[in-house]
């Protein structure tokens, strides 16, 4: 039996179905992400796991115990919120010690446990600082420390990096990964950011219209998307219909199928023939160059890591992909 079983969970708000008979199994020690666009029900599902919301139908089974109807305090889960939800008038130490004090842990023990966790998140030197004086990244680490110190069976992250700017986000992401590796707590991470989910997770569930469109490892989801939605949302695949697929790649598909190719799996070449593929734009992004192409008003993208200055906007080019890099999806 899986460590956490989300079994046939359904949830409506008014007339809108947010979760529709959703089932997901999570193994002990895994870093598992729920990935999906804004409004797809990620936070709702996380709140149901935490006991902050109750499902209309279905069960949550944690380590063999049905916790569906338990209050949040009776579940051994920790949450790291998007806005950190720290106590602004308290110090770092007081914020982290708060839950232990409520549990009436002796103060010498509290000092030890908070000290240990502050070492883990590398914030021991900020122990007595007021929360309001910390940077966003530091607050995020305090929030994580506050969850870890309670030694939860499960730690839940709700878009914890979304309030940080780009470089801090990368740093904080790596910090979360390092800590999870070190501590090994089963973690559920909610995000709408596919690169965050891909880089952090052992497994991902891609959520679409209240169901899991696909559950798999980062590589499975990226390289073998189960449907058009996953292909576009996670890998930003180019999608070609029967006619385009035949003309561009001589790759036959039926009317109901789509040929999907990753932008980095396409290459562009000089041609003397009239290819009907035109370079609409060239975007230099530092480590890669993105070409925006047009084939009979179908726009698609090629990403190249070699900055070939030989191409110009408006030029007629040929494109190619190897057979194994073209996928037929529905």
Ligand X SMILES: Nc1ncnc2c1ncn2[C@@H]1O[C@H](COP(=O)(O)OP(=O)(O)O)[C@@H](O)[C@H]1O
Q: List interacting residues with ligand X (CB under 6 A).
A: 13, 18, 36, 38-44
Residue 18 Cβ vs ligand X, minimum distance, rounded to whole Å: 4
Q: Which does 39 bind (CB under 5 to 8 A by kind): Mg ion, ligand X, none?
A: ligand X
Q: Which does 152 bind (CB under 5 to 8 A by kind): ligand X, Mg ion, none?
A: none
Report d(CA 93, CA 126) in Å as an integer. 8
In the complex with Mg ion, which residue's Cβ is closer, 43 or 95? 43
Q: Which does 78 bind (CB under 5 to 8 A by kind): ligand X, Mg ion, none?
A: none
Residue 280 Cβ vs Mg ion, minimum distance, rounded to whole Å: 35
In the complex with Mg ion, which residue's Cβ is closer, 134 or 147? 147
Give one DSSP letter per residue of 18-50, joined into a string.
EEEEEEEEE-TT-EEEEE--TTSSHHHHHHHHH
Q: Which does 95 bind (CB under 5 to 8 A by kind): ligand X, Mg ion, none?
A: none
Residue 61 Cβ vs ligand X, minimum distance, rounded to whole Å: 21
In the complex with ligand X, which residue's Cβ is closer, 36 or 152? 36
Q: Max Cα separation, the chain?
A: 80
Residue 159 contacts by C-beta under 8 Å, 6 or more apart in sequence? 82, 190, 191, 192
Q: Which does 51 bind (CB under 5 to 8 A by kind): Mg ion, ligand X, none?
A: none
Q: What kind and span of H or E run contains 92? A: helix 92-102
In the complex with Mg ion, which residue's Cβ is closer, 43 or 187? 43
Q: Which does 38 bind (CB under 5 to 8 A by kind): Mg ion, ligand X, none?
A: ligand X
- Check if the beta carbon of residue 204 is closer than 8 Å to that of residue 217: yes
The four Cα atoms 314, 320, 325, 328 give a dihedral, to 10 degrees, of 80
Residue 14 Cβ vs ligand X, minimum distance, rounded to whole Å: 7
Report d(CA 50, CA 246) in Å as an integer. 50
Please give the residue ranges that form the binding site for Mg ion (CB under 5 A): 43
Residue 40 Cβ vs Mg ion, minimum distance, rounded to whole Å: 9
Q: Structure tokens of 284?
A: 């230099």
In the complex with ligand X, which residue's Cβ is closer, 82 or 325? 82
Please give the C-alpha separations between residue 312 and each of 197, 198, 274, 281, 319, in angstroms, as whole numbers.
35, 33, 16, 8, 15
Count of alpha carbons within 13 angstroms of residue 263, beta-carbon side: 18
Residue 236 Cβ vs ligand X, minimum distance, rounded to whole Å: 20
- Check if the beta carbon of residue 100 is closer than 8 Å to that of residue 150: yes
In the complex with ligand X, which residue's Cβ is closer, 164 or 207? 207
């Amino acid at each position: 039996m899986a460590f956490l079983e989300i079994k046939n969970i359904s949830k409506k708000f008014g007339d809108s179905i947010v979760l529709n008979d959703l089932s997901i199994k999570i193994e002990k020690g895994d870093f598992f992400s729920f990935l999906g666009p804004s409004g797809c029900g990620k936070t709702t599902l996380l709140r149901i796991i935490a006991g902050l919301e109750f499902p209309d139908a279905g069960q949550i089974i944690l380590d063999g115990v049905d916790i569906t109807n338990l209050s949040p305090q009776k579940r051994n889960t920790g949450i790291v919120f998007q806005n950190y939800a720290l106590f602004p008038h308290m110090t770092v130490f007081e914020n982290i010690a708060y839950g232990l004090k409520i549990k009436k842990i002796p103060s010498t023990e509290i000092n030890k446990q908070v000290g240990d966790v502050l070492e883990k998140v590398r914030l021991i030197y900020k122990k007595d600082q007021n929360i309001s004086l910390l940077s966003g990244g530091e607050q995020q680490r305090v929030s994580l420390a506050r969850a870890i110190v309670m030694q939860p069976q499960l730690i839940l992250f709700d878009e914890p990096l979304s309030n940080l700017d780009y470089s801090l986000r990368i740093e904080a992401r790596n910090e979360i990964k390092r800590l999870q590796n070190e501590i090994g707590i089963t973690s559920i991470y909610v995000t709408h950011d596919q690169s965050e989910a891909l880089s952090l997770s052992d497994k991902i569930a891609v959520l679409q219209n209240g169901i899991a469109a696909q559950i798999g490892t980062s590589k499975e989801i990226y390289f073998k998307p189960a449907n058009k939605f996953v292909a576009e949302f996670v890998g930003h695949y180019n999608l070609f219909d029967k006619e385009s697929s035949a003309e561009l790649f001589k790759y036959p598909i039926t009317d109901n199928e789509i040929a999907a190719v990753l932008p980095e799996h396409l290459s562009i070449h000089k041609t003397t023939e009239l290819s009907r593929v035109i370079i609409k734009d060239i975007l230099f992004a530092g480590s890669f160059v993105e070409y925006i192409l047009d084939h009979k008003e179908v726009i698609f993208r090629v990403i190249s890591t070699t900055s070939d200055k030989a191409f110009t906007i408006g030029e007629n080019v040929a494109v190619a992909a190897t057979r194994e890099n073209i996928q037929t999806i529905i």
